[in-house]
Amino acid sequence: MNNKLIKDPYLWIFLIFLLYPVLPYIGNFTSLGTELLLWFIFTLSFNLCLGYTGLPSFGHGAFYGVGSYGAAIAFLHLFNKGGFLIPVVIGALTGAVFAAVLGYVIRNKKGVYFALLTVVFTQVLFGICWRWDAVTGGESGLMGISRTTFLGLDIHDPITFYYLVFVVFAVCAIVIRIIANSSFGMSLKAIRQNPVRAQYLGYTTGNYKFVVYLISGLFAGLAGGLYCFLTQSAFADILDWTKSGDVVIATLLGGGTVSFYGPIVGSVIFLLMKELISSFWDHWALLYGLSFVIIILAFPTGLLGMFKSK
């Protein structure tokens, strides 16, 4: 039993991030660490769609984004600039609702067309958020969200907030793993490997796709809601499909299709790579684009694993 626990990657991941703020130098950058944790929540749940069910969704940025807006609007208008838990929960539910709508409509599509419809959805949503000044603040976004106290803790302090998010992450991570290892998760894998066979075995694949989409939307919205409190603002930019593309890349980079923990590794590499390269060179986008291609080519089994079994 002890052996199994030590081999569990979660133990190490949790340990590293528990100690993050006291790590030399990098620990100073608490906001990046908090954002990283949010990306973990986002990509782990997104991987249920992508790696497990084989749904190439380029629209998940939209759920993160509306989650962020949901929390912001709830904070500003429903609670008159107060609250934390409920706005975040509302953020999560907003993400879930939008994911449910989209997931229901496209549940029987697959491949390029599925991907494409998710892009269409996210771009239209982006266009609306960008323009609807009254509700979303247009391209200036929403400001004035503040963190005060929660359960007696001063969450304005970046380190306290980091640990709060860490707890949320730990819980979500465990929940998502339970889902992945459950029979539901197994069915998702079956659907990815051979949807036709799954249907013959009596699974209404459409329903499963819908449910997993909804679940990942919920977690995306949750991460978005917390992100809104991290940055104390909400912007439309996250809804642009390129952000969703970032999530796909981060998930695949770490080999999300062959490993449950892939998204964690991928997010770390992706986020840090971008920050690292951009602080060294004006033309960092060149290196960034090239490294992306090289990494995808270097770890093809991770990606091909998803694409081959069609």
Partner 1 sequence: MTIRRRSLFVLITLIFVGMLATPALAADPIRIGLVSPVSGNYGDHGALERAGMQMALDEYGGEILGRPVTLITADSETNPDAAARRARRLIEVDGVKYLMGAVSSSVATAIGAVAEEKDALYIATNGNSDTLTGKHARHNVFRSAPSMAILVRGGAQYVADNLGKKWFFITHDYSWGHSGTRWARNSMKALGCKEVGEIKVPLGTRDFSSQLLQVRNSGADVLVITCAGFDNVALMKQLAEYKIYDKMKVWYTLMEYVDMWPLDKKERQPYFMTEVYWNETPETRAWTEKFAKKYPAAACPVLDNGSYNGWLSMKVLLEAIKKAGTADDVEKVICAMEGLTIKDNMRAAPTYVRPWDHQFLTSVVLGKANSTADGTDIMDVKAVVPAADVARTKAENPVDVSCKK
Partner 2 sequence: MNSVLILSIILNGLVLGLVYSAVALGFSLVLGLSGVINFCHGVMFAFGAYFFWLLKDIIGFWPAVVVVPLLVAIIGFVIERVLIRRVYGLDPLFGLLITLGFSIALEELIRMIFGPAAHNVSAPSFASGCIIWGDFVYSKYRLFIAVFAAVMVGGTWLLISKTKFGAIVKAGMFDSEMVGALGHNLPKLRTTVFILGTALAGLSGILAAPIWSIKSGMGSAVLMPSFLIVLMGGLGSIPGTIVGGLLVGLSSALATLVFPRFVDIIPYVLLGVIIYFWPRGLFGEQNIND
Residue 43 DSSP SS3? helix
| CA diameter of the chain | 56
What is the CB-side half-sphere exposure of residue 47 using CA atoms within 13 A? 32
Residues 55, 90, 191, 268: which binds partner 1 (CB under 8 A)?
268
Residue 77 interacts with partner 1 (CB under 8 A)? Answer: no
Residue 239 interacts with partner 1 (CB under 8 A)? Answer: no
Residues 109, 177, 189, 274: which binds partner 2 (CB under 8 A)?
109
Pick the closest to residue 148 from 166, 165, 161 (CA basis).
161
Pick the closest to residue 51 from 274, 248, 269 (CA basis).
248
| Alpha-carbon radius of gyration of the chain | 19
Pick the closest to residue 203 from 217, 189, 215 (CA basis).
189
Report in angstroms how near the CB of residue 304 gets to partner 2 at its nearest.
7
Residue 289 interacts with partner 1 (CB under 8 A)? Answer: no
Sign of CA dihedral 89, 91, 97, 100: negative
* CA 78 – CA 86 distance, rounded (Å): 10
Q: Which range, of 106-114, 161-169, 189-197, 198-206, touches partner 2 by CB under 8 A?
A: 106-114
Residues 237, 245, 291, 296: which binds partner 1 (CB under 8 A)?
237
Q: Which range, of 69-77, 207-215, 230-238, 244-252, touches partner 1 by CB under 8 A?
A: 230-238
Report in angstroms how near the CB of residue 56 gets to partner 2 at its nearest.
5
Selection from partner 2, partner 1, none that 245 binds (CB < 5 to 8 A by kind) is: partner 2
Q: What are the distances in angstroms from CA 229 to CA 78, 145, 213, 226?
A: 16, 7, 24, 5
Residue 278 interacts with partner 2 (CB under 8 A)? Answer: no
Residue 112 interacts with partner 2 (CB under 8 A)? Answer: yes
Contact 71, 224 (CB under 8 A): yes
CB neighbours of residue 99 within 10 Å: 29
Residue 276 interacts with partner 1 (CB under 8 A)? Answer: yes
Residues 17, 30, 61, 129: which binds partner 1 (CB under 8 A)?
30
Contact 16, 33 (CB under 8 A): no
Specify the residue, 26 or 128, whose C-beta has the smaller distance to partner 2: 128
Residue 261 interacts with partner 1 (CB under 8 A)? Answer: yes
Task: Find the binding residues for partner 2 in span 280-299 (CB under 8 A).
Answer: 283, 285-290, 292-293, 296-297
Residue 41 corresponds to which amino acid? I
Q: Which residues bind partner 2 (CB under 8 A)?
A: 56, 105, 109, 111-113, 115-117, 119-121, 123-124, 127, 131, 245, 248-249, 252, 283, 285-290, 292-293, 296-297, 303-304, 306-308, 310
